[in-house]
Structure 1
Amino acid sequence: MSPADHHHHTHGDLPEFPGARRLTLLVLIPAVLITLVGMFLLWPGDSPVTAAAGDGPVQVTGEVVAVQPAPCPQVPEGDQPLENCGTVSVRLTSGAASGTQITTDIPNGPGAPEVAPGDDVELLQLNAEGETTYAISDHQRGVALWVLGAAFALAVIAFGRWRGVTALAGLGVTFGILVWFIVPAILDGRSPVLVAVVGAAAIMLIVLYLTHGLSMTTTIAVAGTLASLAITAILAAIATGAVHLTGVADETSNFLTITQGDVNMRGLLLAGIVIGSLGVLDDVTVTQSATVTELATANPAYGFRRLYGAATRIGRAHIASVINTIVLAYAGASLPLMLLFAAGDTPVDELLTSQLIAQELVRSAVGTIGLVAAVPITTALAALLATRRARPVTPRPKRAERPVEDPWAAFADRAD
């Protein structure tokens, strides 16, 4: 291997073959143009407003000065007894009455925040019959979350170095597209499925190339992810229709149908499946593409079948662990619901066929099938292109040179 080849391989890309850059552009340019046109056509208009400003209670902040517990009054038999009674003194730190000290009741009820002197809290300012009252609604979490975010960023950068910086930049891009395009476009009445597919494509194109660089390895991952996303979207549409899911299965979706009647809830479910699958799909496709790259670099004599077979075995192990991760993630998010069903002695068949659980089962199954499809697609593309790499050209042996004769001597010989 020449020094130039070694320098190229250390960058983690497939060995060059004729037309590699042209093929990269043939995949990248149409994908970018289609995504840009889709975002232009689906871009939301003015953000919808559900309520005029000032219709709801005003939210202010404050600092707990003192807590004065008191015995709770007796309640009628059969009612839920009160647990925390007394008053809280709070010094307001925002709003028109900032700097003043007010007194309110200790928060009570399921999930009520527990407060202590020195806590920063959020309060609802209620104006009724000319009297202003306050109620503690929650803790302020801004500072703690900023500290946690800074620790997260430092850990990523300390381990990943420049790659960690690009990963954080990609995370910012993902968050921006979700907040400024996907969510507003769905609220504006656009098709949730189209918005999700276009938004996922934009996230994938920007994040993958930003994080892994403009290379043939990344382009293969992009192609594999696009194909798997299309398969996931089609399967999600078929599965939700076959299972008769409406997308309205909990209090949040019910509330959304009341406040935002223009949102297609079944389409919103499909959009959630597509976006949720993207986060694991790009991990699988990048891993498979990079695996074939390393195998082709370490074993230049490997052909398509050997590269595909070796990388697929690695992909099977990866998929097995990813499937377990998906199931545990959904189980952890649905743990309160599972406890509620278990406490009610709900039969297993009724539990699994309820819309809320069936919705999660469809989400898990469709996402997993998309992941499984991503492995052979991406591996085959990478192995096919790796076997087309430019092989070193062996110089052809030179023909034995015939002795140069004196033309005048040869002419004289023939004349004799």
Structure 2
Amino acid sequence: MGHGHAHRATGGIDDEIRVGTAARTALLTALGIALVATLVGLVVWWPPGDAAQRAAESGGQAAEFAAPGVTTPSGTVVEVGQRCPGTGLPDGSGCSTLQVEVEGESDPVEIAVPPEVLDAGISEGDTVVLLRTPPPDDAPAEGAAYSYFGTDHDSTLVWLGLFFVAVVLAIARLRGLFAIFGLAFGGAVVWWWLLPALLDGAPGVGVALTGAAAIMYVVLYTTHGFSLRTSTALAGTLVGIVLTAGIGVVAIGDARLTGISDEGGAILATFGALDFQSLLGCAMVIAGLGVLNDVTITQASAVWELRGTSPHVSRAAVFASAMRIGRDHIASAIYTIVFAYVGTALILLMVLRVYDRPLLELLSTEQLGEEVVRALVTSIGLVLAVPITTGLAALIAAPVPLPDDEREYDAAGVA
């Protein structure tokens, strides 16, 4: 390994680490090639316009949120009726209803709601969103029909979002601000590029790799600064993304998963010619992105800190020490992935639990099978990324040779 100098970017420990020239050149070249490939993917799969219109032109069925003329006005609850007995919809006897004041209506309108809406604690003064179906052309204008669509959550989301930002900024300060920016950027990429590209029929795994790489380039460098330590973590993350995608494709095909496990998939199936197995592979990559980034930056930082405190030890010794940290991190990260899936699929798991069927038989269902495969694939990619990132970091952070007098001192066996 050739000799180099410390890569000065973020200060602190990064200024003290000796970096091999050949390793640095290879790392930055590989990241440059990956960046070019990411930019090419963004351009090639850039969605050209409205996805619904293209689906209709290509023979698919454009998705309609509601029938023509149906609107979604908001109204204020002025009276809450008693809850209907049982768990079904209201029976028209005046229970499980809301009296809602709607703009444009002289009197409050009565809206039937499911009993669980009342159980959630809705009360006078709350805002609800309604579906307004216009009357037939030959009927009077006041003959419009209203139905319940949902309860307005905007105020809760606003204070919760502001509280989240305040907590992050108060504790993480400038680093937290950069993390929030990265989160916003990632959300923008998913909403305005990744989802339209998938709806346009672009290959799911290719879109996942491109979108995930684009997010990681921006998120890692803005949050952790421009340094070889961050570049090493980025390289490990990109390798982990590729491994997750590859293992996911193999597992989905081998398990014969369809990718359609709920009502949402059935709706998209009418939208156009979409490859749902490819979409499932995309979902697996995106699902593991956050935890993967967490372990790679931690391992790169661990190697940098170990090298800073022990500049003369071998790369193998630094790798072994960092892997002891990595093994602990692997265990906690796997718990994070698995229990995150359990939380999101809790209702599904409860439904399956009440069935009088063996657990292994339930694994054959599409819903549970997808969740198990997703958890295993992302966990495998995560585990493999730890030694890969640690090894890359150990290669980049080169040891400092001992001075000649200290080398002779050690050789003499005095130390």
Q: Which TM class, normalised by the smaller chain length?
A: 0.7 to 0.9
CA RMSD across the alignment: 2.9
Superposed CA deviations along residues 119-142 of structure 1, whole A, max 9, x for unmatched, are 011111122333212222211111
TM-aligned CA distance change 1:79 to 1:323, over 3 Å: closer
Structure-2 separation of matches of 1:170 and 1:7: 19
- 2:384 paired residue among 347, 367, 373: 373
1:220-271 superposed Cα distances (whole Å, 9 cap, x missing partner): 111111111111111111111111111012222122212x232211100000
Structure 1 position 46 matched with structure 2 position 49 = yes
Residue 256 of structure 2 corresponds to 244
Whether 1:351 aligns to 2:362 is yes
1:302 CA drift (Å) = 1.8
Match of 2:17 in 1: 15
Question: Relative to 1, partners in 2 of residues 1:160 and 1:13: Cα closer, same or farther, differing over 3 Å?
Answer: farther
Matched, 1:66 2:79: yes
Q: 1:386, 1:356 → 2: CA distance? A: 45
Q: What amino acid is the match of 1:45?
A: P
Q: Secondary structure at the match of 1:263?
A: coil
Per the TM alignment, residue 169 of structure 1 is displaced from its structure 2 partner at its CA by 0.5
Query: What secondary structure, in the 3-state scheme, does the structure 2 residue paired with 1:145 have?
Result: helix
- For the pair 1:122 / 2:129, whether they are aligned, the reply is yes
Where does residue 330 of structure 1 map in the other structure? 341
Alpha-carbon deviation of 1:70?
8.7
The alpha-carbon distance between structure 1 residues 5 and 267, as it changes in their structure 2 partners (threshold 3 A), is closer
Q: Which one has a bigger Cα radius of gyration?
A: 1
Q: Describe the shift of the 1:231–1:84 C-alpha distance in structure 2 as closer, same or farther (beyond 3 A).
A: farther
User: Structure 1 stretch 38-47 or stretch 129-138: which is displaced more?
Assistant: 129-138
Note if contact 1:308-1:380 (Cα within 8 Å) is conserved in structure 2. Answer: yes
Q: Determine the structure 2 residue equivalent to 1:140.
A: 152
Q: 1:233 aligns with which of 225, 245, 257?
A: 245
Aligned-partner Cα distance in 2 for 1:206–1:7 = 16
54-63 or 100-109, which deviates more: 100-109
Closer/same/farther in 2, CA of residues 29 and 67 from structure 1, 3 Å limit: same
Structure 2: distance between partners of 1:256 and 1:300 = 56
> What letter corresponds to residue 72 of structure 2 in structure 1?
Q
- CA displacement 1:60-91 (0-9 Å, x = unmatched): 1111122354988xx9xx98885971653322
- Structure 1 vs Structure 2: percent identity of aligned residues? 37
Instruction: Give the structure 2 partner of residue 308 of structure 1.
Output: 319
Aligned partners of 2:83, 2:41: CA distance in 1, in Å? 61
Instruction: Give deviations 1:374-415, integer Å, cap 9, x for gaps.
Output: 0110001111111256x58779xxxxxxxxxxxxxxxxxxxx
- Structure 1 residues 345 and 56: alpha-carbon distance in aligned structure 2, compared to 1, 3 A threshold: farther
Q: What aligned pairs does 1:200-219 form with structure 2 within 5 A after superposition?
A: 200-219=212-231
Per mean C-alpha deviation after superposition, the further-off stretch among 44-53 and 310-319 is: 44-53
Cα distance between partner residues in 2 of 1:189 and 1:80? 39
Letter of the 1:66 partner, please give it: E
Shift of 1:209: 0.7
In the alignment, structure 2 segments of 5+ residues that lack a partner are 1-5, 53-61, 406-415
CA-to-aligned-CA distance 1:265-295 (integer Å, 9 cap, x gap):
1100000001112111111100000000001
Alpha-carbon shift at residue 8 of structure 1 (Å): 7.5
Equivalent residue for 1:294?
305
Contact 1:85 1:105 in 2 (8 A): no
Match in the other structure for 1:102: 108
Deviations 1:20-51 (A, max 9, x none): 76555423322221111110000001122225
- Please give the alpha-carbon distance, in whole angstroms, between the structure 2 residues aligned to 1:288 and 1:361: 27
Bigger shift: residues 217-226 or 336-345: 336-345
How many angstroms does 1:6 deviate by?
11
Task: Give the 3-state SS of the residue equivalent to 2:313 in structure 1.
Answer: coil
Match of 1:178 in 2: 190
* Contact 2:197-2:207 at 8 Å conserved across structures: yes
Report what 1:158 is aligned to. Answer: 170
User: Unaligned 5+ residue runs, structure 1?
Assistant: 396-416
TM-score under structure 1 normalisation?
0.84
